[in-house]
Chain A
């Protein structure tokens, strides 16, 4: 008997039954297809405007910085003015998905549209969604949004449309399940910059991932 059969048969013996009955199997398939509704935090059950405010407040609580701009055309200038706060302003790598999304050159930026390499100091990526209940960004992997951008550079800048902010994680999953491309390989839920408390239980930012997280919310 191989290990797979051995483990499964031990499980079945311990549960006091053999192979599952057709009825039990149907029950499990049904449970997988239609999970019961979760209890979700009441604080996130508010109007879309309030959800955007809650998202920004919760994100700030975990040391993200947040700025709101009126239209997509304002994004490059917002990114540029954030980056000049650092001396020297770091070079920028951007998700290929953002190429042509707006006029980067007009803001004096010349991002490399590629995955991040070890030398890249700052990355800008688009978010699929924001979750108001904890100020969490939902970032999906795809050929034009590689995962490395979210973790290698010191500075992580994320562009999020206000209409993509939802109340709860469950709403984000509903939108992901509805994607024509199906479930992405990687779903990164990001809540603030990287941190650790492993030295004397004192929180410090910038452990292995980004030292800082800046979120640009696009209202229009």
Chain B
């Protein structure tokens, strides 16, 4: 999809006025967040697992070329094929070529954020191959022709009435008077419609949660079982994945998987975790005749060796989205691309460019909740600050903001002067506030801040001057 991250502010404003969206986002607080906390506390080894997962992924990234080559060799050994793609265009073309060679008319897809990243669906449609999303949430948003708003719950912004409307509008051969008021009825209808699509598809495209170098296996995690039907029934299975997904061994995979479901949905383990390697074997009664792995770079290798390398540990669990106050207010669509929340604010500038996405690293209060819950211990706030520094260096913020920042930086490097200004400023504000009931409804240069709230006036002296005066207790 084409990024619209430059319009974050407008998108966030729209989101705040959208009552249905706000209700849906409100459920994060009682749903995913609470469940993750319960699951993490239930496992005494959880914090230790996070350390081990961080270290094993760092080791893998430091040797990424070797582990990818080892993975490739194992895939080939089992009759599969690996396609290396440096960018989105190359990956789209490789996938289309495979579909054409297979004479494919319809393709079932299991939810893949990488497929969203390379805008695979519109490309296939333009070339007479029909893609059908099979993850329920992804199917719903495909019918509504909109992007996912959450990396593991793509339709989280919708309620049952939105879904019913989408089904009424698209499932035209079903009786229009059928009841579609309950989630159960909606699910049963989607199940019946998609079952026919599963059985008819020529090619199945899945993502990958992990690639296992030891065995050439691809690990796929779902709760619905849609990835399994997608990879088992059609004649061709294509795995589309980023190069950073590789881990050394099956044992390493289990450390990551012990963290994944707990961090994502608060489940101990997802319903279906599948390790698949190569095409069907002699004597097998099912499985695809062809097994392809499309390894996508698309800017990831440029993140290695620098201040954003840690982001490549991300396992797309969405814990940082679920716990982010900004995501919780603005929702995913405001971020303007595939990835949202804190992980999206770090990843999007790296993949689509800072010019397009420079608002995103600023869409954070740096409260640190994301880092506190990240199973891979990715220092997300630190990386958001790195992006802000680069934004400043590249002169992307407006002139006035840059001038103010430069002035502040100049002062901050001169502590004595800084304190003098702070003391004077506080005294001045306190004096001005006497006739205003102790609060400012409007302040020059801070109109954006006071538009939504009042600034309480300072009532006394700065912390540092109180400290210097020997006042150590309130």
B67 within 8 A of A: yes
B residues 207-264 touching A (CB-CB < 8 Å): 213-215, 217, 223-226, 228-229, 232-233, 243, 248-252, 254-255, 257-258
Name the residue of chain A whose CB is nearest to the CB of B134. A208
Q: Which residues of B contact A141 (CB under 8 A)?
A: 284, 287
Name the residue of chain A whose CB is nearest to the CB of B270. A191
Q: Which residues of A contact B331 (CB under 8 A)?
A: none
**A156-B284 Cα distance, complex, nearest whole Å:** 20
Chain A, interface size: which category? 35 or more
B27 within 8 A of A: yes
A195 within 8 A of B: yes
Name the residue of chain A whose CB is nearest to the CB of B78. A185
A220 within 8 A of B: no
A194 within 8 A of B: yes
Stretch in A74-82, A157-165, A198-206 touching the partner: A198-206
Name the residue of chain A whose CB is nearest to the CB of B137. A198
**A11-B243 Cα distance, complex, nearest whole Å:** 10
A136 within 8 A of B: yes
- The minimal Cβ–Cβ distance linking A197 to chain B, given in whole angstroms, is 7
Stretch in B123-131, B191-199, B336-344, B392-400 touching the partner: B191-199
B295 within 8 A of A: yes
B305 touches A16 (CB 8 A): yes
Chain B, interface size: which category? 35 or more
Stretch in A28-36, A98-106, A122-130 touching the partner: A28-36
Contact with A along B250-291 (1 / 0, CB 8 A): 111011011000000101111111111111110111110000
**A114-B243 Cα distance, complex, nearest whole Å:** 38
- The minimal Cβ–Cβ distance linking B286 to chain A, given in whole angstroms, is 5
When A and B form their complex, which 6 residue pairs have the shortest distance between CB atoms, in order from nearest? A209-B225, A143-B283, A207-B224, A198-B137, A14-B304, A146-B285
Contact with B along A12-28 (1 / 0, CB 8 A): 10111000100011011
A189 touches B284 (CB 8 A): no
**A48-B457 Cα distance, complex, nearest whole Å:** 67
**A25-B70 Cα distance, complex, nearest whole Å:** 10
Q: Which residues of B contact A190 (CB under 8 A)?
A: 271-272
**A41-B281 Cα distance, complex, nearest whole Å:** 35
A residues 152-199 touching B (CB-CB < 8 Å): 152, 168-170, 173, 183, 185-199
B269 touches A199 (CB 8 A): no
- The minimal Cβ–Cβ distance linking A172 to chain B, given in whole angstroms, is 9
B243 touches A7 (CB 8 A): yes
**A199-B167 Cα distance, complex, nearest whole Å:** 13
B307 within 8 A of A: no
Give residues in B with beta carbon < 8 Å to A.
24, 27-28, 31-32, 43-45, 48-49, 52, 59, 62-70, 78, 83-86, 90, 134-137, 140, 153-156, 159-160, 163, 183-184, 186-188, 191, 194-195, 198-199, 213-215, 217, 223-226, 228-229, 232-233, 243, 248-252, 254-255, 257-258, 265, 267-281, 283-287, 295, 297, 301-306
A51 within 8 A of B: no
- The minimal Cβ–Cβ distance linking B161 to chain A, given in whole angstroms, is 10
A40 within 8 A of B: yes
**A78-B297 Cα distance, complex, nearest whole Å:** 52
Which of B48, B214, B278 is packed against the most chain A CB atoms within 10 Å? B214
Name the residue of chain A whose CB is nearest to the CB of B225. A209
B213 touches A15 (CB 8 A): no
- Tell me whether A20 and B63 are in contact in the complex, defined as CB-CB below 8 angstroms, given that A192-B271, A201-B27, A208-B224 are known contacts: yes
**A26-B320 Cα distance, complex, nearest whole Å:** 37
A86 within 8 A of B: no
Q: Which residues of A contact B224 (CB under 8 A)?
A: 194-196, 207-209
B269 touches A191 (CB 8 A): yes
A200 touches B183 (CB 8 A): yes
B286 touches A146 (CB 8 A): yes
A39 touches B214 (CB 8 A): no
B140 touches A208 (CB 8 A): no
